[in-house]
Amino acid sequence: MTEDENAGRELIRLMTGPWVARSVATAVRLGVVDRLAEGAADAEEIAGALGLHPDRLHRLLRLLSAVDLVQPRAGRYELTGTGAGLQRKHPSRLRDLVLLYDSGMFARAWGSLEESVRTGRTAFEAAHGTDVFTYLSEHPGDAERYSAGIAAGGRFGKALPAVYDFADATVVADLGGGDGDLLCTVLDHAPHLRGVLVERPTALPAASERLSAHLESGRATLVAGDFLESVPSGADVHILSRVLHNWSDDEARAVLRRSREALEPGGRVLILERILPDDGSPLLASLFDVHMMVMTSGAERTEHQYEALLRDAGLTTERVADLSLEMRLLVAAPLRG
Ligand SMILES: C[S@@+](CC[C@H](N)C(=O)[O-])C[C@H]1O[C@@H](n2cnc3c(N)ncnc32)[C@H](O)[C@@H]1O
């Protein structure tokens, strides 16, 4: 292939990314993936079972095969390993991530990226007329999709107990803890711990469901609160997972100060984020940085940028460890003196 052909092919691949994403989400939404999870089938059988158009479905399946989500075998299609992860019953719940990323709420916000780059305005606010968290509190359907999709993207948290030793901790507070999946991981791992989840009031029902066993046993408590204003006292470990990247430097500083004020002596703040390297451009961290620009006033930051914010709040970086999917754990300790 000539250099020109290569460049053309690569640009087409980049520019048709949204077509592929929409095709995947369409197959998930229409139940095609769940039907294939029951066993190999051809387009006619699936179309018959789901009331779809056989020829159109055949063409959709051909594209899904080209991107390795299904594979043809003896005239029928079956799910590949990646495709199998999208079925409703799969423990990864990646289906929820697909539905969130393909949602109108995200698509309309991304539609205003150009305005964001021109003016510095948050694209989400240009598109929806309000900030994302106020919008979610007013749109229960989108809020449910958001909570489920964010939780599905949180699999990196399963590795937290392997990179942070909770043996000396007594109470862990997960600030902006989402649906409670990460706190559940920590409490399941360390039976001596108690946990507190701080969230916006409208986000608490999902956490209440996920943490039900720990709530019933008295090991977990839910607190409706605003971490920009205050953080409940009594915890010696605070978790901020994918929280600081939602906020501008001033707001992130405020969250860290509230955390530092409430932290028990000798405590630690665990920050889980995609931390940008000072040079180079890792794909996921750069992608989510632009996504933060679209959705919020926040950003992905370098380790140096985090350290500057931490110091302003009386904290400092103790160590950094790798999780998965370019996520990292930054352990922050109170500054001495
Ligand atoms: C990107 S999600 C991360 C959720 C979870 N920590 C995780 O990693 O899966 C950010 C969370 O911050 C919560 N949040 C936003 N503003 C908040 C505030 N002012 N006080 C408490 N929680 C807030 C949102 O409801 C949302 O669940």
CATH of 3-84, one of 1.10.10.10, 3.40.1190.20, 2.40.50.140, 1.10.3430.10: 1.10.10.10
User: Using one digit for the tens of pLDDT, what is the confidence trace for 247-265?
Assistant: 999 999 999 999 999 999 9
User: Which residue has the CA at smallest separation from atom 14 of ligand 1?
Assistant: 176
- pLDDT > 90 in the chain, percent: 93
Q: Which member of 128, 238, 245, 291 is catalytic? A: 245
Question: pLDDT per residue over 214-235, tens digit each?
Answer: 999 999 999 999 999 999 999 9
Ligand 1: residues within 6 Å at CB?
A: 133, 150, 154, 176-178, 182, 198-200, 203, 225-228, 241-243, 246
pLDDT in tens, 172-187: 999 999 999 999 999 9
For the chain, the maximum distance between any two Cα atoms, rounded to a whole number of angstroms, is 72
Nearest-CA residue for atom 1 of ligand 1:
242
Torsion angle, CA of 114/116/118/121, rounded to 10 degrees? 150
Residue 279 has what pLDDT?
80
Q: What is the pLDDT of residue 160?
A: 97
Domain with CATH 1.10.10.10 in the chain: 3-84
34 pLDDT more than 90: yes
* Nearest-CA residue for atom 18 of ligand 1: 226
Distance 334 CA to ligand 1 centre (A): 23
Mean of pLDDT over the chain: 96
Report the residue among 243, 274, 327 best suited for mutation to probe ligand 1: largest number of ligand atoms under 8 A from its CB: 243
C-beta of residue 158 within 8 angstroms of C-beta of residue 325: no
Q: What percent of the chain has pLDDT over 70?
A: 100
Residue ranges of the chain that CATH labels 3.40.50.150: 154-334
Enter the tokens of residue 59: 């063409």
pLDDT range class, residue 38, cuts 50, 70, 90: very high
Arithmetic mean of pLDDT, 306-319: 98
Confidence (pLDDT) at 281: 79
Identify the pLDDT of residue 76: 96
The predicted model gives 190-203 an average pLDDT of 96
Q: Has residue 268 got a pLDDT over 70?
A: yes
Closest ligand 1 atom to 239 CA: 6
Nearest Cα residue to atom 3 of ligand 1: 242
| Alpha carbons 35 and 79: distance in angstroms, whole number | 10
The owner of tokens 């109470």 is 171
Q: 23 CB contacts (<8 Å, ≥6 apart)? A: 60, 63, 64
- Going from the Cα of 207 to the center of ligand 1, the distance in angstroms, rounded, reads 11
pLDDT (tens digit per residue) in 83-114: 999 999 999 999 999 999 999 999 999 999 99
Tell me which of 50 and 337 has the higher pLDDT. 50
Atom of ligand 1 minimally distant from the CA of 240? 6
- The yes-or-no answer on residue 192 being catalytic is no
Q: Which residues contact 162 (CB under 8 A, 6 or more apart)?
A: none
134/132 Cα distance (integer angstroms): 6
| 249 CA from centroid of ligand 1 (Å) | 16
Hey, whose CA ends up nearest to atom 24 of ligand 1? Answer: 176
Three-point CA angle 203, 208, 212, nearest 5°: 160
What DSSP string runs through 174-241?
EET-TTSHHHHHHHHH-TT-EEEEEE-GGGHHHHHHHTHHHHHTTSEEEEE--TTT---S--SEEEEE
- Helix-helix angle 3-15:17-29, to 10 degrees: 40
Lowest-pLDDT range, 86-90, 139-143, 244-248, 276-280? Answer: 276-280
- Read off the pLDDT band of 274 (50, 70, 90): very high
pTM: 0.94
Dist. CA 215–CA 63, nearest whole Å: 45
**What is the CATH topology of the domain spanning 154-334?**
Rossmann fold (3.40.50)
Beginning with the edge strand found earlier in the chain, give each strand of the sheet holding 237-241 in spatial order: 220-224, 194-199, 171-175, 237-241, 268-273, 328-334, 315-322
Nearest Cα to Cα of residue 227 among 185, 268, 262: 262
| Neighbouring C-beta atoms of residue 297, cutoff 10 Å | 20
pLDDT computed for residue 337 by the predictor: 67
Ligand 1: which of 142, 175, 199 to mutate, most ligand atoms within 8 Å of CB? Answer: 199
How many Cβ atoms from other residues are within 10 Å of residue 294's Cβ?
A: 21
Split at pLDDT 50, 70, 90, the class of 283 is confident
Q: Tell me which of 133, 144, 238, 257 to substitute to probe ligand 1's pocket, judged by most ligand atoms within 8 Å of the beta carbon.
A: 133
